[in-house]
Amino acid sequence: MKVAAAVARERGAPLQIAELNLDDVRDDEVRVRFVASGVCHTDAVVRDQMIPTPLPAVLGHEGAGIVEVIGVDVTTVQVGDHVVLSANSCGICRHCLSGDLAYCEQLFARNFAARRPDGSTPFSEDGLPIGGQFFGQSSFAQFANVAERSIVKVDKDIDLTLVAPLGCGMQTGAGAVLNELRPKPGTTVAVFGTGAVGCAAIMAAALSPCAQIIAIDILDSRLDLAKSLGATHTVNSRTENVVDRLMAITGGQGVNYALDTTAIPGVLRSAADSLAVRGTLALVGSSRSGTEVHLEIGESLNRGWTFKTIIQGSSVPQVFIPALIDLWKLGKFPFDRLIKTYSFTDINAAFLDSENGTTVKPVVVYDDPARFTTDEEHA
């Protein structure tokens, strides 16, 4: 069938909307008509080839839509179900079998290769392959044949435009706090960077028994938002010395948990230097392969602090995303306040607004799919 998709063709270039061919659904796949897709920083770093996904490819990994066709081996959804799409995994490695889906041994192949496990791709153009199944989905398309393991079924009364960004960024920030750091009563959490991931982390920290939540950013508007979401203190790292301010806020003790969403080496160093004795520093931001950071190891030895990296909030999407939706319904995880919607044809504006800080979480909404579908396919 013919579908409209936004194609990343060259490093750093704007996405191009094109009409592609979508092949038949495989036995273990599901065809989804996308209603909306979040635009994530990971899409930008892949477009810019900081992560070497082969181009051309259809990116997008925060999709939400409606099931149109299921393969003969699919058991988790039915035609007409409403779904959110998240990361893919193999389901058979020791980490998947232990519940650590985010650390699947086939993480790169299943999510960044833009190919099925057999090397094929669902999309083509003029007989040439276009990368697809990015994160098992490639949600920057009106239709896609997606991996069953990427699918999270949600209630039909949920606004799919609203829940689309839960597929990656929101669960990454919230999961980093709730699944990994798990702040103890009376402790201090510092979040470096208050984009979508950082704001999700702040909202999650507000659900924990920690005493102080400190937001660090270079934009006062973002810091004001962070405070409205639960931050007890804010620090503008452009105008203030971050380590000095964090030490002052904590009475010279340092922070117990520091979460870096920026992956900027200098920021990560400041986060490490601000830790309390036995503190934990966690990184969730994406950076170019080979990026290094210099850490002090003299005095640090006496503090016994921990550094860890976290992928996808260490979550099981089929469990954690519905939990976040339930928290939102209770008014405890107001992630809807971060969202601004864009037409699919304005997808490059959504990328730009995300990069310059105008929008915290862009979500593209798809037009009438009949424009790009033949009468035969609808028969």
Classify domain 173-311 by CATH architecture.
3-Layer(aba) Sandwich (3.40)
**Candidate from 169-173, 250-254, 286-290, 349-353 with smallest mean pLDDT:** 286-290
pLDDT value for 286: 83
| Fold agreement (2-167+334-378, 173-311) | no
Measured between alpha carbons, how far is 135 from 151 in angstroms, rounded to an integer?
Answer: 11
On the question of pLDDT at 27 being above 60, the answer is: yes
On the question of pLDDT at 373 being above 80, the answer is: no
Sheet of 128-130, strands arranged across: 57-58, 2-8, 16-22, 123-125, 128-130
Q: Name 59's Cβ contacts closer than 8 Å, sequence gap at least 6.
A: 6, 8, 15, 43, 46, 47, 53, 134, 138, 140
| 305-334: pLDDT as tens digits | 999 999 999 999 999 999 999 999 999 999
On the question of pLDDT at 378 being above 50, the answer is: no
pLDDT value for 370: 46
The stretch 137-161 carries a mean pLDDT of 97
Measured between alpha carbons, how far is 106 from 359 in angstroms, rounded to an integer?
Answer: 33
pLDDT value for 377: 37
Measured between alpha carbons, how far is 47 from 35 in angstroms, rounded to an integer?
Answer: 22
Work out the mean pLDDT of the chain and round it to a whole number: 95
pLDDT band, very low/low/confident/very high, at 376 (cuts 50, 70, 90):
very low
pLDDT value for 368: 60
| 229-274: pLDDT as tens digits | 999 999 999 999 999 999 999 999 999 999 999 999 999 999 999 9
Measured between alpha carbons, how far is 114 from 110 in angstroms, rounded to an integer?
Answer: 8
The stretch 200-204 carries a mean pLDDT of 98
Residue type at 84? V
| 67-118: pLDDT as tens digits | 999 999 999 999 999 999 999 999 999 999 999 999 999 999 999 999 999 9
Nearest to 139 by CA among 70, 68, 61: 61
Domain ranges (residues) in the chain: 2-167+334-378, 173-311
pLDDT band, very low/low/confident/very high, at 288 (cuts 50, 70, 90):
confident
Nearest to 290 by CA among 122, 50, 22, 45: 50
pLDDT value for 374: 37
On the question of pLDDT at 375 being above 70, the answer is: no
Find tokens 């699947």 and name the residue: 104
**Candidate from 12-21, 275-284, 361-370 with smallest mean pLDDT:** 361-370
| Per CATH, domain 2-167+334-378 is 3.90.180.10 | yes
pLDDT value for 289: 84
The DSSP annotation for 93-161 comes to SHHHHTT-GGG-TTHHHHHTS-S-TTS--SEEETTEEEB--GGGT--SBSEEEEEGGGEEEE-TTS-HH
Give the pairing of strands 123-125 and 212-217: unpaired
Nearest to 347 by CA among 11, 67, 13, 56: 13
